[in-house]
Structure 1
Amino acid sequence: MNFFSLMTQGGVVSQLVAMLLLGMSVASWVVILWKGWLLPRAVGEVARSTAVFWQSASIDEARQKVAAFDRQALVLPLIAATGIRAGQTLASAGDRSQQLTRVLRDALHAVLNKLQFGQVLLATVGSTAPFVGLLGTVWGIYHALVGMSAAGQFTIDKVSGPVGEALIMTAAGLAVAIPAVLAYNVFGRAIGRIEADLEGFARDLRELFSHQPQNG
């Protein structure tokens, strides 16, 4: 018996556990493939975008060059946040340095939320999939014991099927969890690197524009 036969031939609990593990695996691999494409690209894009910005003669030129380089560049929301305007609301209270701190922080959080998307799913799958597989294992052992009790004696044909289900569920739980855990750790390091670069760029922007007059 293999994993997929459990979904059609196993008991109700075994089928539910198998379907749950399959769903967790599909969801985690979708995230893994998407972030595996996004994050390496983002690491290089942040470095190139910041280099383009500092080589520009003005903020408008920098914005145009970065947008021409990549319309989805992660630094664009930070650059756009420097164009705050004077107003009469609490959001515009305080000096320009305080306002820049606020708007750059909000822009940075929005960018990081995009990068962090899927991390919770990977962490959840990595931490719960082994226990879901363990549930299938326990249920398989229970079936084996029930089969032995009904037969009144130990026979291989009564326990081989349930024990096979138990072993497959254990392996399936680990097979789902291990890629999720590895991806979570690898992506977490990449996100941390990007976050550090963006925070440094935001601090530089704040220092650069804090003493300039607000746009009226």
Structure 2
Amino acid sequence: MSTATWYLIVIKSLRQLRIRKHKRAFLNCFWEAANFDDVSHYLHDTGIHDPFSHLTHHGLRAVDQYHNRSGNRLVESGSADEFLTRALRRAIEQDTARLEYGLTILASVASSAPFIGLFGTVWGIYHALVTIGMTGQSGLDQVAGPVGEALIMTALGLAVAIPAVLAYNAFARANRLLLTELDGFAHDLFAFMATGILSDHRLPTKAALKSRGA
């Protein structure tokens, strides 16, 4: 359990750092781009390494699919806004699943490790008392050693559970903040595409978008 916990802590920490790095680079490109063609070229050259670029990729692909749809499939039904909304929702759901990978394991370890350690302690004390009863020696020297060894199991359980609890809370908070930011970006992206900005190949600046909402 301890090995799995620290493996997830290291892997998810590195992933969070990588996501922040690529997110910052992509958003800088997105808001500085003159049009969606520049964004598409950036995604083609650098790849998709964060939820924001993944969401934009799904949006661009959805627009292309809608313009080239045959209309014979259920997935192609509905208006352009509905088609784009479904594509962006699927992308957010996929990113949410990726971000939450491993959190269930951390939560399970955090909740079960103390009880497993306590069970080991009780089991150790039981055997220590049985041994004392068989030997007939009940002095402090005979009791302290076995009981102390049994209590180590509780300490080991806590040593496994505490890092798991702290890691779970930290990753859950980081995911919540990232998904909140991603949701806001999805609304901006939908507004750009649904209002026909994409067809004009013009991408408004972030300041212009804020002035429109004022």
TM-score computed with the length of structure 2 as normaliser: 0.81
C-alpha root-mean-square deviation of aligned residues, in Å? Answer: 2.2
Q: Quick check: 1:192 aligned with 2:172? A: no
Q: Quick check: 1:122 aligned with 2:106? A: yes
Q: Partners of 1:120 and 1:47 in 2: how far apart? A: 28
Q: Partners of 1:168 and 1:99 in 2: how far apart? A: 59
The one-letter code matched in structure 2 to 1:194 is L
- Residue 39 of structure 2 is aligned with which of 50, 58, 62? 62
SS in 2 for 1:117: coil
Q: Partners of 2:45 and 2:177 in 1: how far apart? A: 24
Q: Quick check: 1:73 aligned with 2:86? A: no
Residue 95 of structure 1 is matched in structure 2 by 79
Residue 17 of structure 1 is matched in structure 2 by none
The one-letter code matched in structure 2 to 1:134 is L
The one-letter code matched in structure 2 to 1:56 is A
Q: Quick check: 1:109 aligned with 2:86? A: no
Q: Partners of 2:98 and 2:118 in 1: how far apart? A: 33
- Decide whether the 8 Å contact of 2:96 with 2:179 is kept in 1: yes
- Decide whether the 8 Å contact of 1:81 with 1:104 is kept in 2: yes
Q: Partners of 2:38 and 2:98 in 1: how far apart? A: 26
Percent identical pairs in the alignment equals: 42
The one-letter code matched in structure 1 to 2:34 is A
- Residue 17 of structure 2 is aligned with which of 32, 40, 50? 40
85-94 or 110-119, which deviates more? 85-94
- Decide whether the 8 Å contact of 1:119 with 1:184 is kept in 2: yes
Q: Deviations over 1:101-159 (max 9, x none)?
A: 11101111111211111111111111110001001011011112212221234134543
Residue 12 of structure 1 is matched in structure 2 by none
Residue 212 of structure 2 is matched in structure 1 by none
Q: Deviations over 1:151-178 (max 9, x none)?
A: 2341345434431331110100000000
1:44 positional shift: 4.0
- Decide whether the 8 Å contact of 2:43 with 2:57 is kept in 1: no
Count of aligned pairs between the two proteins:
192
* Unmatched runs of 5 consecutive residues or more in structure 1: 1-23
Kindly tell me: are residues 189 and 134 of structure 1, through their superposed partners in 2, closer, same or farther at Cα, counting changes over 3 Å? same
Q: Quick check: 1:133 aligned with 2:117? A: yes
